[in-house]
Chain A
Amino acid sequence: MRFVDEYRDPVLARSLSAEIHSLVTAGEVVRIMEVCGGHTHAIYRHGLEELLPPEIELVHGPGCPVCVIPMGRVDDAIAIAETEGVTLATFGDMMRVPGGRGSLLEANARGADVRMVYSPLDALELARREPERHVCFFAIGFETTAPATAVTLLRARDEGVANFSVFCNHVLIEPPLRAILGTPGLRVDAFVGPGHVSSVIGTDAYRFIPEEFGRPIVVTAFEPIDLLQAIVMLLRQRAEGRCEVENQYTRVVRSEGNRRALDAIAETMVTREDFEWRGLGVLARSALSVRDDLATFDAERLFALPGARIEDPKACRCGEVLTGQIKPWECGVFGTACTPERPLGTCMVSSEGACAAFFSYGRLRRPREEAPVGA
């Protein structure tokens, strides 16, 4: 396939792998966190770790937008979906995420009207097509998906679609990165920065990482060749004594980001005082809500939501996995009480979560004596 095959070329992969091998010092481990779940997925799907020397340790970060939604918010979404005359529309990934009262898929089976869409505009179209129902879009995602929600809100306002609202759960990338970087005993030496988020916010947004925390970051696209190249760039920075923001995804990402997308977000949403993240706890100014002047499209004002805070299960060590302090299999419930079918913690929820990706694709790579129960 054109535009994809080039980035999966095994010959190029081998030459980049050789370069990585030449750039590491035997026995000196470099821990690289890929922030984005899309990267985690690509690493496992293509078996990338086998092309890396043992000195490169990949740590899977918090950038799965589905995984970070706290259980209480899922329950709120279920409450909306169970309201008479209301259809809840959301992305397929979100349907299986368990809240305190089960998942949206289970709510659907109980009689709620939950429908899968591929874009918020599809949800708006649904509202136009079914004027007798109220359609609420369960919006999730980082700055990547927020512009699409923003544009949808603007269109709903301009066209006066009265039976449409947004349950806004958009989150920001900087606060969780700061939370991770501020973790005492942080075990991450360098970052592979998210590609799609950066196409909106730009690479300049990450300057605090080298400047305040002394860690290099390379904004990276999602194909395996991209990831290998990013690792080369990070290792070169180390070898040359540099520590800066670099852009591997030049085919899409600009240093200043996408002004129009940022403007659309600013026109429709404001930063919340705080927001709860699954696995990371409450982070200040880490999420967006619908602006006051669009209140009639804001599900949080239209519906009486339970708004309960549900603690992550005690046995779950997702927070430590997300900050690179432990590997997925070092958690006591990994693969036993917590599996992709019955996830306890955020990292097991979607295929982009660190634990689920490892469980589904990678658990072979561990030493045999550690093989998980039931594998």
Chain B
Amino acid sequence: MPEPRRGRRPVVRDERITLAHGAGGKATRDLVAALFLEELGNELLAPLGDSAVGRPPPGRLALTTDSYVVKPLSFPGGDIGELAVNGTVNDLAVAGARPLWLAAGFVLEEGLPVSDLRELVVSMGAAARRAGVVVAAGDTKVVERGKADGLYVTTSGVGVLEHDVELGSDRVRPGDRVLLSGTLADHGMAVMIARGDLKLEGDVASDTAPVHELAASLLTLGDGVRWLRDPTRGGLATALNELAGQSGLAVRMRESALPVEPAVNAACEILGIDPLYVANEGKLVAVVAENVAEEALALLRRSPLGARAVEIGVVEAEPEGMVLLDTALGGSRIVDLLVGDPLPRIC
């Protein structure tokens, strides 16, 4: 892509995104230079080449990708820009990697206010700085009005594993402890309420945040840390069901230990939704060896993001592949995979 001419500071004069912004010509160039480069600029992105070129630090590399299609674009506690950085950072973090570089692909809908786009890109830049990553490459396409909910963004990420700890469900053993870094269901309920069609109001904010520092702190425990996951779509229940399914072991949770904000719990009750299945965007669930569980909790609690970290359960040998919940009332039940979306019950 040609550099803007010397002496002319590129500006986006249009109030709204038009198909011209995606045509690859002058409008595209100005949008990239005046908006993306200005807000996300860094050494890798600045040359605006077809690929960003850089040298990774020594270690194993991790590569991930995720698309973000959240509606509405902004919600209490965050927006799609912040989410697109944190979500991909977290996927790298739970693989044990230190996040390095992101690539962002934007699909913009014709008519999107440029000021809205700028706001989202600004928060993307802020999130990237917070997580210690750079947006090293990007792409923009524009689709006709009605073909996207304002904006979709896909972020891919590269991270480096600077240690030899092997994480995975095959390393989990009966007796291991399950830790959770904080409250459940904040993101999913915040977005559901922000959509406005529930006529529900509540002081509920998304938890979107990067968990790479929490993950890194646990990795100092070496082989004592077995498995990490960020319980996003499908919530904690889905993440633990994957663990149980892959390891052939059982996970037994204690309902009374599960932290849920009162307003979130109330919204879930009203809608008949189980917080165990609701998305989180700034939480870490970890399986660690029993003998390091206390230390792991202390490490998590050192960070404000992990201040409410708790042990929520234990890994058991049986029943094979199942997640169980000891209810607060004194009973127990299976926590199964959800069928489809969590559609609210009616009565």
* Chain B residues within an 8 Å CB radius of A8: 328-329
- Stretch touching chain B among A153-161, A277-285, A290-298, A357-365: A357-365
Instruction: Produce 1/0 per residue, A5-38, CB < 8 A to B.
Output: 0001010011001000000000000000000011
- Residue of B262, B265, B329 touching A10 (CB-CB under 8 A): B329
- Residue of A45, A48, A141, A364 touching B319 (CB-CB under 8 A): A364
Q: Is A176 an interface residue (CB 8 A)?
A: no
Q: Are A364 and B345 in contact (CB under 8 A)?
A: no
In the complex, how many angstroms separate the beta carbon of B137 from the nearest chain A beta carbon? 34
Q: Are B345 and A352 in contact (CB under 8 A)?
A: yes
A65 to B343, CA, bound (A): 15
Listed in ascending order, the chain B residues whose CB lies under 8 Å from chain A are 197-199, 262, 265-266, 269, 274, 319, 322, 324-334, 336, 339-340, 343-347
- The interface residues of chain B, by DSSP majority, are classed as loop
Sample (10) of A-B pairs whose CB atoms are under 8 Å apart: A8-B328, A44-B333, A45-B333, A46-B329, A46-B331, A50-B332, A116-B343, A117-B197, A118-B197, A362-B334
Size bracket of the A interface: 35 or more
Q: Are A66 and B329 in contact (CB under 8 A)?
A: no
- Stretch touching chain B among A89-97, A305-313, A325-333: A89-97
Residue of B nearest to A371 (CB): B319
Q: Are A51 and B331 in contact (CB under 8 A)?
A: yes
A120 to B322, CA, bound (A): 39
New contact pairs (14) apart from A41-B345, A47-B331, CB-CB < 8 Å: A37-B347, A45-B333, A46-B329, A47-B333, A48-B331, A66-B346, A96-B340, A105-B340, A122-B197, A140-B346, A145-B347, A196-B347, A360-B336, A364-B333
Q: Are B333 and A118 in contact (CB under 8 A)?
A: no
Q: Is A212 an interface residue (CB 8 A)?
A: no
Residue of B nearest to A37 (CB): B347
Q: Is A144 an interface residue (CB 8 A)?
A: yes
A364 to B321, CA, bound (A): 12
Instruction: Produce 1/0 per residue, A114-128, CB < 8 A to B.
Output: 001110001000000
- Give A318-375 interface residues, CB cut-off 8 Å to B: 340-341, 350-352, 359-364
Q: Are A141 and B346 in contact (CB under 8 A)?
A: yes
Question: Of B197, B266, B330, B336, which is in contact with the most chain A CB atoms at under 10 Å from its CB?
Answer: B330
Instruction: Produce 1/0 per residue, A55-99, CB < 8 A to B.
Output: 000000000011000000000000000000000000111111000
Total A-B residue contacts, Cβ distance less than 8 Å: 99
A363 to B324, CA, bound (A): 11
Given contacts A1-B262, A91-B346, A144-B347, contact A340 B269 (CB under 8 A): no
In the complex, how many angstroms separate the beta carbon of A222 from the nearest chain B beta carbon? 9
* Chain A residues within an 8 Å CB radius of B197: 117-118, 122
Q: Are A50 and B331 in contact (CB under 8 A)?
A: yes
Q: Are A13 and B343 in contact (CB under 8 A)?
A: no
In the complex, how many angstroms separate the beta carbon of A228 from the nearest chain B beta carbon? 9
- Residue of A13, A91, A351, A364 touching B329 (CB-CB under 8 A): A13
Q: Is A224 an interface residue (CB 8 A)?
A: yes
Q: Are B346 and A92 in contact (CB under 8 A)?
A: yes
Q: Are B331 and A145 in contact (CB under 8 A)?
A: no
Q: Are B266 and A1 in contact (CB under 8 A)?
A: yes
Q: Are A93 and B324 in contact (CB under 8 A)?
A: no
Q: Are B322 and A10 in contact (CB under 8 A)?
A: no
In the complex, how many angstroms separate the beta carbon of A220 from the nearest chain B beta carbon? 14
* Chain B residues within an 8 Å CB radius of A14: 330
Q: Are B339 and A10 in contact (CB under 8 A)?
A: no
* Chain B residues within an 8 Å CB radius of A109: none
In the complex, how many angstroms separate the beta carbon of B203 from the nearest chain A beta carbon? 14
Q: Are B334 and A361 in contact (CB under 8 A)?
A: yes
Q: Are A340 and B347 in contact (CB under 8 A)?
A: no
* Chain B residues within an 8 Å CB radius of A239: none
Question: Of A14, A350, A361, which is in contact with the most chain B CB atoms at under 10 Å from its CB?
Answer: A361
* Chain B residues within an 8 Å CB radius of A66: 346
- Residue of B265, B322, B332, B346 touching A47 (CB-CB under 8 A): B332
A184 to B87, CA, bound (A): 59
Residue of B nearest to A94 (CB): B346
* Chain A residues within an 8 Å CB radius of B336: 359-361
A141 to B269, CA, bound (A): 20
In the complex, how many angstroms separate the beta carbon of A339 from the nearest chain B beta carbon? 8
A341 to B336, CA, bound (A): 12
A4 to B260, CA, bound (A): 14
Q: Are B346 and A49 in contact (CB under 8 A)?
A: no
In the complex, how many angstroms separate the beta carbon of B346 from the nearest chain A beta carbon? 4
- Residue of B199, B266, B330 touching A118 (CB-CB under 8 A): B199
Q: Are B340 and A13 in contact (CB under 8 A)?
A: no
A361 to B340, CA, bound (A): 16
Closest 3 A-B residue pairs measured CB to CB? A47-B331, A92-B343, A50-B331
* Chain B residues within an 8 Å CB radius of A144: 347
A94 to B259, CA, bound (A): 31
In the complex, how many angstroms separate the beta carbon of A47 from the nearest chain B beta carbon? 2
A38 to B199, CA, bound (A): 23
* Chain A residues within an 8 Å CB radius of B334: 360-364
A181 to B132, CA, bound (A): 68
In the complex, how many angstroms separate the beta carbon of A279 from the nearest chain B beta carbon? 19
In the complex, how many angstroms separate the beta carbon of B150 from the nearest chain A beta carbon? 20
Residue of B nearest to A121 (CB): B199
* Chain A residues within an 8 Å CB radius of B332: 47, 50, 364
- Residue of A1, A95, A364 touching B324 (CB-CB under 8 A): A364
* Chain A residues within an 8 Å CB radius of B262: 1
Residue of A nearest to B343 (CB): A92
- Residue of A1, A65, A341, A362 touching B265 (CB-CB under 8 A): A1
Q: Are B345 and A118 in contact (CB under 8 A)?
A: no
Q: Are A340 and B339 in contact (CB under 8 A)?
A: yes
- Residue of B199, B266, B322, B329 touching A224 (CB-CB under 8 A): B329
A348 to B331, CA, bound (A): 23
Given contacts A46-B329, A50-B331, A224-B329, contact A118 B343 (CB under 8 A): no
In the complex, how many angstroms separate the beta carbon of B146 from the nearest chain A beta carbon? 14
